[in-house]
Structures are given as C-alpha cells and as structure tokens.
Amino acid sequence: MVPRSIAACQTTTPEPFRRSERETAWKHDLAEAYRQADDLLAALGLSPEAIPDLDSAAPGFRMLVPRAFAALMTPGDPRDPLLRQVLPLGAERLSVAGFSRDPVGDASADVGSGLLRKYAGRALLIVTGGCAVHCRYCFRRHFPYAALGETPDRTAVAMASIAEDPEISEVILSGGDPLMLDDDRLGALLERLHEIPHLKRLRIHTRLPVVLPSRVTDALCRLLAGSHLATILVVHANHPSELGAQAEDALQRLGRAHLTLLNQSVLLSGVNDAVPTLVALSERLFECGVLPYYLHQLDLVEGAAHFAVSDAQALRLGEALRQRLPGYLVPRLVREVPGVGSKIPLIDSARIGSPLL
C-alpha cells in the first residue's frame, strides 16, 4: 500500500528528537495520566472541599485523565466544563428510573466476538476496551469488555463474519478507543480488513486526537493514509476548550492525510448546554478541519443522570444553532434508541417514546 501523502503528515518535531521516541511518546503521556481525583484537583489549585459531591473512590469506573487534557482546564474553577466531564461524583451512585447499564442495546446487537450489527450495511467491531480518558457519561462504562478478551482468535472470528456477508460495505472500529492499539496491532487489523473485497469504507471512532493528541504521529498518519478504503475519522469533542493548539495540530495533520474528519458531541448539563458554547464548538471544529456530525442526546446509562438535559431544552438549543450557524456547521440533534435501525432525529423521537421529553 502506498500512502496518499506522506509529506502532508510531517510534524514540526525537532530532528534531534529520535523517531522511536517521537512515535511512542503518547504511551509515556498515557502512563503519566491522572488517576486520582486529589492529584488532578491539586494540579488545578483546588481542594477536595471545593467539590462537595466528590467521590474519590469511584467504584467500578476509575478516573483517568491525560495531563494534556487537564492542562486545558481553568485552574481554580470547580465548575470547569472539562473537569466536569471526568471528575467522579457521588451522583454516579444514584439509581435513577430509566437509566440502565446497556442504554443503546449493545448486548442484543452483539453477534459474537465483539461484532455488533445494528444498521444496514454496517458492522461495528469493538477492538479494545481501553480508552485514554474515562468520561463519566460514557454509554459503555458498564460494558463487559473482559468477557470479550483481546485474542487473535476473536479477531479471526469477527473478520470471518464480515467476510461472509457481502452486504457489509462499511466497518466501524470502536471500543474503548481503537487508537489505543499500537501501530503494529492497528496495522495488522487494517490489513485483514483490506483483504475483504466488498468493504468500501472504514470508520474509526476515537477521542484520542482531542484528549491525547501525541497519539497522532507521522507513523499513524502514514498508516491511515495508506488504506485503500475510504477512511472516516469520527472524533469526539464536547466543548471548544478541548480543542487546544495540540489537538488542532493533530486534527489538521490527519486532514492533510486525506481522511474525512467528523465530530460527534454529547449534550451535557453543565458542560455544553448553552447556545454560545455550542456555536463556539462548531466554529472551532471547522478551524481544526472537522465538520460537526452529531449532537447526541445523552444515552441513559446508569451513573450519568446528572448530565441529562431535557428534550425540550435540547430542541430549543438545536433551533438556536440553526438560526446562528450555516447549515454545514449545524450538527444533527439525535437520540439512539435500542432496536431502531438508525439514529433518530430528536424532533421525531416522541413517536417511539422519550423518557426525557
């Protein structure tokens, strides 16, 4: 495979920095991530007492925050929207009606070996349970990754399933985060997908270019640019402050590697449930070479009820965005409903039932 554009992926890293170090720096950065709430708060000049509902124990879903992401938070601000996304709170322990451990029906869509079939012509493959950041609203925070395992046999079974179904034209790599795989493992996976003749598109859902931009190396750019499949990278940013200079550089280099870049956000109370914030997010994404794709109403996952925004408020926000932005910068406001063969525009979701409407 010949990369489409190697030169386009070049970084500005000084030559004395050895290639082997440059290409693996992201692993060091991940190893240095904050794993204790007190350590993160101390770095921000905050005491634990500034967060009355702080839950440092976070049973079952530990905290994980890369330092590059934490550096974008406002020191001294206990209500910082980036901090709110990652800081474990006691509210996560509350049992709230309508919120479940499998809010989008992954279990019923699993056809084995981590392969999910929800939508016509597409198959989603969970390639790892690892992430670089633990977002407290994650819809897969209770997913049984350990039951899947990460073995060559599992991958082989999933690939055989895809190869046997000529109706599948697009494979979606998900997780966890697919870019948590190192280049060798990711490259081996892509090679196997390239061998399946009826595949046309590869979609990768990832948060790493935003929260751990050092993962976007020259080698990764070359690897993704070399695919003969049309490759779409769907990133995840919820607030314009997440898109600092490092994330912007990472995203623009991925764009120069001829990848289609889209963003999906989640509407979150106390994070981005305001018109100016959402407008600024769309405009900042465009500056980084990314088009807004979806604005998701919160998946009703157990432990995340404190992030919920009512449907009525979400619809008001969506209408305000249409009034303020050109159409190509307005994300589609949607909800995912288990058992339904597509994302549902929020304006239409009442016909199938909506617990927050």
As annotated, the binding site for [4Fe-4S] cluster includes: 131, 135, 138
Structure tokens at 22: 């440059």
- 């910082």: which residue's tokens? 80
Q: Tell me which amino acid residue 164 is.
A: E
Biggest CA pair distance of the chain:
61
How far, in Å, are 100, 116, 123, 314 from residue 105 at the CA level? Answer: 10, 10, 14, 23
String of DSSP letters for 185-201: HHHHHHHHHHT-TT--E
Residues facing residue 174 across a β-bridge: 126
Distance CA 231, CA 1 (A): 14
Strand 230-235 and strand 201-205: the pairing is: parallel
Distance, in Å, from the CA atom of 124 to the CA atom of 119, rounded to the nearest integer, reads 9
Q: Would you state the structure tokens that stand for residue 179, as one six-digit string?
A: 């870019």
In 59-208 the beta strands, taken as DSSP E runs, fall at: 115-116, 122-126, 170-174, 201-205
- Return binding residues: 131, 135, 138
Report the amino acid identity of residue 234.
V
Handedness of CA 205, 190, 226, 10 (dihedral sign): positive
Classify strands 332-335 and 291-296 as parallel, antiparallel or unpaired. Answer: parallel
